[in-house]
Amino acid sequence: MRIKCTLLALLLGSRIVHGQATIGRQQVDQFKSDQWGDKSYALTWLPTDYNSSGSTQYPLIIFLHGVGEGGSSVNDLNKLITQSPPALPERIANGWNATAKNPLDGKTYEFIVISPQTSNGWSFNYDQLKYIVPDILSRYRVDLSRVYITGLSAGGDGVWTVMGSADVAFTSQFAAFVTVNTAGVDAANGLTDLQIKANVDAGIEVKDGINAWTITTQNDGLNITSFEYMDGFNRAHPAKPGKFTDISQIGHSGWGQAYDPNWRPSVNYYGTNSMDAPFWPNGNNGSPVTGSGVTQDSLNIYEWMLLSRKGGTPAVQQPPPPPVQPVAPPPPPIGNAKAIPGKIEAENYDNMFGVQTQGTSDDAGLNVGWIDNGDWMDYVINAASAGSYNVSFRVATPEEGSALQLRASDGTVLTTVDLPNTGDFQAWQTVTASVNLPAGVQTLRLISVSDANWNINWMQFDGPVGSKSGGGTDNGNGNGNGNSSGPAKYIKVNLYGGDNPYNNNEWNNWNVNGSAESDYLNYSDGTPSSVSAVLTYNESLADNSDGYGEGMAPAEVLRYTSYSDADRKLYIVGLNPSATYSLELYASRGLNPGNSTAFSAGGETAAVGTFDNLNHPADLNNLQANAQGQIVVSINALNSYNYINGFVLTEFGQGNAAAAVVPGVASEAAGAVFGTADKPVTGISLQVYPNPIQDHFLIEVNTPHTGRMNVQVVDASGSVRRSYLFNKDRISGQFDLYAHGLAAGAYFVRVQIGDWVSSQKLIKL
């Protein structure tokens, strides 16, 4: 045996340590990789103080190589230490001892690092790792609370097959994972791309408390895979949202930086690529966070891994907030202040410490999260008059003991609010309190005063001026419905199917069978606006017959109803974020009893029974558009189907400056107020053909807007199933897309360039 080992070492240019062949300072190893007991080669690095008779346990890193580093012989293991640029095994081969200091306890840890090598030309995935990992854990003294997995390119793919395997018993062994320049899934080697995404979206690995970091590079043509998988991970609302890093000016080779212990990124992103968040790659996922000190945003991947430990992943300690100034600073200019009474989106703070934003499930906007004890947000407000205001906080937390305070700028505590355990960081409830405010411009500080974490979506102030009042519907006649005083304007919309539009100048006809997006809508007085609407799904249109009655709306409006057995959304865009709105929505269907429809927006829900419903609209009051000028209405079926026949949008207070805009003519004033693009004067803004499709289709986009164009294929539930990026450099352009792997059914193609959005229905055969 001694002769054989010596001969092997000579053939490989390697050496023998304690009877074990080594390559690049790592021992040659073999691990079981299938159900029959077949073994695959690997390189194993053991800590310098590791000995067979000791009892110390060590954190473990499993490293998965890329497609070019596969092999089936001992000699092929040399590929793992000659990769260019160098990855983890080569770093060890070049003299690094795989150590890192844990920022939490200040101790230095040395890792066991195992790099298995596949013989199939791609990389190991869940199908093999479910055998390899138990073999590793049975042979080495591993700290089972600190098991990490990482991979580059095809190996990053392998990591995602583990996370998307739906094997809870297996994934729960890992405390964290890091992927670098993930390549597309090799469907012949384990799970398919759709299976992985479906399981990641379902949040199976999130429930295990696994932490995630995805690293990609801006010039990598494969980076869409990294974006899509990390989006899915964060859409499942992990307690610690996944971290995303995009290295600039590098192609498919980011592992040269990622595995370098001296590399520490300065800017990272958290959250999802939601419909209202900045789109990747120029905006990346969520809001940018710049690291400093010992926060997780300035650590290398090895230090970051040590933050995660099964059985509890304590947060990195943030520096304390700056002391409260005894004297309030001079008030900021009135132009920066947010009007009170009114609604303030939490992400629209004027200053903050320690928090981040993310896409929220509560509406189409963002919420503020990662709020630790002492973290705060400042809001400059302008109270219309002095007095007592009711303030509502829209919050979410799965933790007990959360609490917030609202403070004046001199440090005076205006109110302390204990927050309920809502069950999840995206399960929202509204809590209320009362505060006394002086009139005029002032700064309010919202601060966490508990160790338990919480999220917040918005604050609503109702008080001496413009307070809510209950009851009453407008019925499209301008009688008011309890919103703030001021001149009211109305946009009335009738949904129909192409035949028998309502011949009334006060009403806009929207053929939802023809387009998911309405034209610009006119006010009831005939003046044009910059407001339009998008319905994410329309299964079909039902005709209640020409003898159907009237009541809450004219009979012509109640005649036709759009229906769906899937939840969907109505986007009303081009609104003024500083105005107040109400919506009166009509849901009426004859011949189909037992159904109810719930409409939700702005934290309020109104449900109506639909069977021969003539007199009970769904009223949503005191609504404000988000920063993108949108009100997003969720339409949910409480039984089998949901319905919508039409709606009336009422605008109160400040008039809509777009009333003077002629559709198709650029207007700087309207753009400044609404942040919404003009549509082309003629032609269809978005066409899809052929339609129905099989695997291949074209879209034609006709709009003056140019630049980075995001295209999404969205299913009936609103989930994004495909994403594409293009650069549009002219008014009209055609773009080639593939929908291979999509199940047969109805979808929407959604196109966004900046603030401009358009959608069309797509049928997949």
Q: Which domains does the chain have, with CATH numbers?
A: 19-306 (3.40.50.1820), 334-462 (2.60.120.260), 489-674 (2.60.120.430), 686-764 (2.60.40.1930)
Ranked by mean pLDDT, the top range of 121-125, 445-449, 753-757 is 445-449
Banded pLDDT at 487 (limits 50, 70, 90): low
Contacts of 369 (CB under 8 A, 6+ apart): 241, 355, 356, 357, 358, 425, 453, 455
CB 708 within 8 A of CB 749: no
Banded pLDDT at 318 (limits 50, 70, 90): very low
Banded pLDDT at 136 (limits 50, 70, 90): very high
Q: What is the DSSP string of 355-412?
A: -EEEE-SSSSSEEEEEE-TT-EEEEEEEESSSEEEEEEEEEE-SSTT-EEEEEETTS-
Rounded distance between C-alpha atoms, residue 483 and residue 586, angstroms: 19
117 class by beta-carbon count within 10 Å (0-12 exposed, 13-18 middle, 19+ buried): buried
Rounded distance between C-alpha atoms, residue 493 and residue 499, angstroms: 15
Helices (H), 59-125: 88-93
Which of 285-297 are b and which e, b meaning 16 or more Cβ less than 10 Å from the residue's Cβ?
A: bbbbbeeeebbbb
pLDDT at position 633 is: 93
Tell which residue, 521, 536, 637, has the closest CA to residue 589: 637
Q: For the segment 506-534, what is each residue's pLDDT rounded down to a tens digit?
A: 999 999 888 777 888 898 888 888 788 88
Helical (H) or strand (E) element with 561? strand 560-564
Percent of the chain clearing pLDDT 70 (strictly above): 78
pLDDT at 483 over 50: no
Question: Mapping DSSP to helix (H, G, I), strand (E, B) and coil, where does residue 515 land?
Answer: coil
pLDDT at position 684 is: 53
Give the mean pLDDT of the chain: 77
Question: Mapping DSSP to helix (H, G, I), strand (E, B) and coil, where does residue 528 land?
Answer: strand
CB 426 within 8 A of CB 360: yes
pLDDT at 733 over 70: yes
Rounded distance between C-alpha atoms, residue 394 and residue 574, angstroms: 25
pLDDT at 288 over 80: no
Tell which residue, 709, 721, 708, has the closest CA to residue 747: 721
Q: For the segment 93-126, what is each residue's pLDDT rounded down to a tens digit?
A: 999 999 998 877 778 999 999 999 988 767 888 8
pLDDT at 262 over 70: yes
Question: Mapping DSSP to helix (H, G, I), strand (E, B) and coil, where does residue 534 land?
Answer: strand
Q: What is the DSSP string of 444-508?
A: EEEEE-SSS-EEEEEEEEE-SSS--------TTTT---S--SS--EEEEEEEE-SSS----TTEE
Which of 576-613 are b and which e, b meaning 16 or more Cβ less than 10 Å from the residue's Cβ?
A: bbebbbbbbbbbbbbebeebbbbbbbbbeebebbbebb
Contacts of 549 (CB under 8 A, 6+ apart): 555, 558, 612, 614
760 class by beta-carbon count within 10 Å (0-12 exposed, 13-18 middle, 19+ buried): buried
Compute the average pLDDT of residues 705-727: 75
pLDDT at position 535 is: 87
Compute the average pLDDT of residues 702-730: 75
Show the tokens assigned to 727. 């650069």
pLDDT at 154 over 80: yes
Lowest mean pLDDT among 10-14, 688-692, 756-760: 10-14
Beta-sheet strands, E only, within 206-319: 211-217, 243-247, 267-270, 287-290
Rounded distance between C-alpha atoms, residue 172 and residue 400, angstroms: 24
What is the Cα gyration radius of the chain? 29
pLDDT at 265 over 90: no
Lowest mean pLDDT among 64-78, 373-387, 554-568, 726-740: 726-740
348 class by beta-carbon count within 10 Å (0-12 exposed, 13-18 middle, 19+ buried): middle
CB 233 within 8 A of CB 197: no
pLDDT at position 220 is: 74
Compute the average pLDDT of residues 284-303: 53
pLDDT at position 475 is: 35
Contacts of 335 (CB under 8 A, 6+ apart): none
Tell which residue, 147, 126, 120, has the closest CA to residue 60: 147
What is the total residue count of the chain? 765
Sheet holding 20-23, edge to edge: 15-17, 20-23, 26-32, 39-45, 112-116, 58-64, 142-152, 176-180, 211-217, 243-247, 267-270, 287-290
What letter does residue 4 receive in the DSSP assignment? H
- How many other C-beta atoms are found inside a 10 Å radius of the C-beta of residue 323? 7
**Which amino acid is located at 560 in the chain?**
Y
pLDDT at 607 over 70: yes
Percent of the chain clearing pLDDT 90 (strictly above): 23
CB 254 within 8 A of CB 247: yes
Tell which residue, 141, 229, 142, 116, has the closest CA to residue 181: 229
CB 205 within 8 A of CB 171: yes
Show the tokens assigned to 16. 């023998």
Q: What is the pTM of this model?
A: 0.43
Lowest mean pLDDT among 42-46, 400-404, 666-670, 701-705: 666-670
pLDDT at 276 over 50: no
pLDDT at position 635 is: 94
Compute the average pLDDT of residues 741-748: 79
